[in-house]
A and B are shown apart, each in its own frame.
Chain A
Amino acid sequence: MLRNLVFALVFALSPAMVQAGEAGPVMRQWYRLVLELVRHTPTYSPPVASRSFAYLGVTGYEVVANGTPGLTSLAGQLNGLTALPRRPRMVYDEAVVMQAAMALSVRAFFGNTGPSGQQAMDRMEAVLAAQVAEGVPPDVVQRSTELGQRIAQHILDWSASDGGAVVENMGFPREWVVSGAPGRWVPTSLVAQQQAPLLPGWGQNRPFAMPAGSTCDLPPPPAYSEDPESAFMTQAQEVYDVSKALTDEQKTIARFWSDDPMLSPTPPGHWVALVLTLVDREGLDTPRTADALMRVGVGVADGFIGCWWGKFEYDTVRPVTVIKALIDPKWEPLLITPPFPEYPSGHSTQSGAAAAVLSAVFGADYAFDDPTHEEDGIAARPFASFRVAAEEAAVSRLYGGIHFRAANEAGLAQGACIGGYTVALRTLP
């Protein structure tokens, strides 16, 4: 199995896998673990996961930029990020710097994970720290470790003020008053915790590359109406009709992009996992690896902030509510309806952003296979481009019965706009 292969390499103490001086493999190994921690840490809903991917990406990139002439720091480019610690003119080991930075950061973002995650972080840190220090003079190890920790801590301090650092009750407000107005969101779940929407303030968080959550505005969704001829009911009827005639391929697409929290690396983790696959496939060097991981993290994180701004600006009802009330009381969507307002689609927005970013990194017509869910028994899917993949992610929400078409299409457009701010970041020479 892929998992066994990957981690046997780490835990068998393979010196060929992670060596002194090579920062890229260290970063990739930590990311492999992070994808599991995201899946197994209960506060890690998709927005929360995207935030951690962004900060970890920035950390990894700044470590590389710190020791690589010609790379441009993100300080002054990302909102609120001040100049990173500079390194005195002495000898450093880049793998040790990366190891120290990632270990500190991952522990900070996943300090609340369960006992298995804690154990895995302990083991990862111990094994990688030993590997990268092999053959490196102790004073260099110490100096490099301190530098990595200073860089990581600088970014952690920056992260503390973005509005997303504290997540209580798994992101659900303990008290919430549902609007009650026609067309507004109402709870769709029989889970007591989900009678309030997930993270209603997330759209107010400080974004990374774009100016504000509202920067990439959305057209209003079709006005709520119970008139069967209205635009609103037409799209509700479409969700219903599509659900009644789903092909096997459409069901596969819905499940491929379902990316449920606690059961997958989440939607942003799906794109990060794909980047890791492509980094290996292309054999990218360390600066390009760090750049790609930073950009996808920042892109999806801004995507969720912008999307959540829209969700709570419009506060719209989900298909399951409308269809059960007005079309078919026994109808059930293929996917579980997420516990927050409908418009725009989160997966669509963040996929639109990821596609914009990755098209800039790998190319607009870059074709690839996406094996993200193979360990869960879901076969890899081929895509002609990132844009095609994002479009499939968006329409998957229609097939799954959890979004109207307008939310998917507007989300994709919003994401493309948001991703543009990440694309504009200056990094590699």
Chain B
Amino acid sequence: MRGLWAVFVAFPAWADTPVFVDETVGSGLASVYAGDWQYMVGGGVSAFDCNADLLPDLVLAGGEGAASVWVNRSGAALRFEKAVSGVEMTGVTGAYPMDIDSDGVADLIVLRVGENVVMRGLGACRFERANEAWGFDGGDGWSTALAATFERGAEWPTIAVGNYVNRKEEAFPWGSCTPNWLHRPGEGGFAPPVELTPSYCALSMLFTDWNNSGQVALRVSNDREYYKGGQEQLWHIEGEPRLYTEAEGWARLRIWGMGIATDDLDGDGLPEYFLTSMADNKLQKAVAQEPLVPKFADIAFKRGVTAHRPFMGEDLNPSTAWHAQFGDVNNDGLADLFVAKGNVDRMPDFALHDPNNLMLQQADGTFVEVADKAGVASMRSARGGQLVDLNRDGLLDLVVVNRREGAQVWRNTTAGGHWVGVRLHQDGTNPDAIGARIEMRAGDRRWLRETTVGGGHMSGSLGVQHFGLGVAEGAEVRVVWPDGSVMGWTPLAADGVWRVTKGAAPVAE
């Protein structure tokens, strides 16, 4: 294992409460995640540049309605135009962007109730079905989670698909979790998928190097509502997939797992994991020991991120959490946490008016709720979401998909600290360097970001990695590329996006 970093001690925090402006109406974004039982989960949004204008465009799941692609026309204000993209399929629960064929144009992996579809990016935000061309067996399931990476040395990606209950067992779905699939490279595309069994109704998946070993594992968050004998999972992925066992230190956890967010909150070089659920949510930190084993302590209560019930309003029943994502919304150098909330479907024992959370990390590592003050405490029934800089002003904006109600988008107008954006690139296979590890430092502060596809609740981004820097006017970046080679510490000026290409000096974008 590589050496652990010293734990961050102090860094001047930018104390501003973020300010978001709801620009849903003016933006033109209009999409509803519609449908009944089969759409009680899902409802993702992905953000990536599909027309090479450097602005992240959006793909929103529509459930029973059609999925939609929205071309980003934002200037100072946020604005979107609906594209004719080829993605207008029904049954979509979410879509993740990834350059599958390494042609420099992002493709899409579309998860559905029914056949999953890989779509080749054609540019100009148009896509075409590529299942047959790439040998991708989309199956016929109820797909609700995805993680993707390029295994070391592979010319083609590895995609893990999480599946939910057997939708044909609608009268008695409990215990009918269907197998998850691992699509690995094959001849000229994907090999037939192998089943990742046992499978326990996955609602989020993430390839992550949990122990900084240089080898990713597959973390799977499962919905205990439907499995029998199940639990959260961590898979060894090298060679034949196999589960981490109790003998290896894995500790059983059984929650209504719905989403995974990750960040290195304390700068120790190891990622923490926030797991969404119903009532209390979990924040896991690896228990310090040598050698490190996959044993995690729940520090949510200590850090103030249980987010177990609405923090405002009169409905004090337990909350239901879905997408979660860390991001520094006020650029103070500390990762904050957004959590999308919404009742599953008229469950009276859980909050029916369940505001989304935006929790600011403080210098002492605790979090403080500011969603109401920041203007993003929507009471709609949220599912997916993304914190992403939609107008390239250095501030993370917010887009949220809601069930049976319109999606919402907020522009971040916070007068925050400095920031820097990093867009990784490498020539040849895997041009977006999925699987790379970005390390950043400024003064005593260190940041870690794994470039990955997956996690959240059916939602993700591809492109610029955003780092808030607080008062620092620059930072140094170090990249561990997917092949294990390392770009040494390299200075970056604050308040701009840098294209960092393997083997070349960073270039301002």
Contact = CB atoms under 8 A, between A and B. Distances in A.
Interface of A: 1, 3, 7, 11, 33, 36, 39-43, 111-116, 119-120, 123-124, 167-170, 174, 190-193, 260, 262-263, 375-378
B170 interface: yes
A376 B174 CA distance: 11
A41 to B, nearest CB: 8
5 contacts: A3-B172, A36-B172, A115-B37, A116-B37, A169-B318
B347 interface: yes
B434 interface: no
B438 interface: no
Given A119-B170, A120-B172, A375-B229, A169 B317 contact: yes
Given A170-B349, A191-B306, A375 B171 contact: no
Nearest to B302: A190
B279 A193 contact: yes
A11 B168 CA distance: 12
Contacts of B309: 169, 192-193
Given A115-B37, A262-B224, 20 more contacts: A3-B175, A11-B171, A33-B172, A42-B279, A112-B348, A114-B345, A115-B40, A115-B346, A115-B347, A116-B37, A119-B37, A120-B172, A123-B170, A123-B171, A190-B298, A190-B301, A193-B279, A193-B318, A375-B229, A378-B229
Given A11-B172, A43-B349, A115-B37, A192 B344 contact: no
A7 B225 CA distance: 18
B376 to A, nearest CB: 22
A193 B280 contact: yes
B300 interface: yes
B301 A116 contact: no
Interface string B301-318: 110001011000000111
B133 to A, nearest CB: 37
A101 B378 CA distance: 42
Contacts of B316: 169, 174
B234 interface: no
A39 B229 CA distance: 13
Contacts of B306: 191-192
A114 B172 contact: no
B318 A263 contact: no
Contacts of B350: 42
A42 B350 CA distance: 9
A376 B318 contact: no
A190 B308 CA distance: 12
A192 B308 contact: yes
Given A119-B170, A193-B308, A114 B225 contact: yes
Contacts of A40: 174, 225
Contacts of A43: 349
Contacts of A167: 349
B172 A377 contact: no
B279 A170 contact: yes
Contacts of B174: 3, 36, 39-40, 116
B171 A7 contact: yes
Nearest first, the 6 closest Cβ-Cβ pairs linking A and B are A123-B171, A377-B229, A376-B229, A192-B306, A190-B301, A115-B345
Interface of B is mostly: loop
B173 interface: yes
A165 to B, nearest CB: 14
B254 interface: yes
A36 B174 CA distance: 8
A7 B172 contact: yes
Contacts of B344: 114-115
Contacts of A42: 278-279, 318, 347, 349-350
Contacts of B348: 111-112
Which of B172, B316, B348 counts the most chain A CB atoms within 10 A?
A: B172
B228 interface: yes
Nearest to A192: B306
Given A43-B349, A115-B40, A119-B170, A376 B228 contact: yes
Nearest to A111: B348
Contacts of A11: 171-172
A119 B316 CA distance: 26
A120 B171 contact: yes
Contacts of A39: 174
A396 B138 CA distance: 46
Given A39-B174, A42-B278, A192-B301, A263 B224 contact: yes
A375 B228 contact: yes
B163 to A, nearest CB: 16
Given A36-B174, A263-B254, A191 B301 contact: yes
A191 B280 contact: yes
Contact of A192 (B171, B280, B345): B280
A112 B298 CA distance: 29
Which of B40, B175, B317 counts the most chain A CB atoms within 10 A?
A: B175
Nearest to A126: B171
Contacts of B347: 42, 112-115
Interface in B284-307: 298, 300-302, 306
Nearest to A332: B251
Interface string B215-228: 00000000011101
Which of A36, A119, A192, A378 counts the most chain B CB atoms within 10 A?
A: A192
A169 B280 CA distance: 12
Which of A41, A167, A169 counts the most chain B CB atoms within 10 A?
A: A169
B216 to A, nearest CB: 28
A33 B173 CA distance: 11
Contacts of A115: 37, 40, 344-347
B483 to A, nearest CB: 40
Nearest to B278: A42
A191 B347 CA distance: 21
A162 B306 CA distance: 34
Which of B226, B228, B316, B348 counts the most chain A CB atoms within 10 A?
A: B228
Contacts of A168: 317
A414 B344 CA distance: 40
Nearest to B348: A112
Contacts of A111: 348
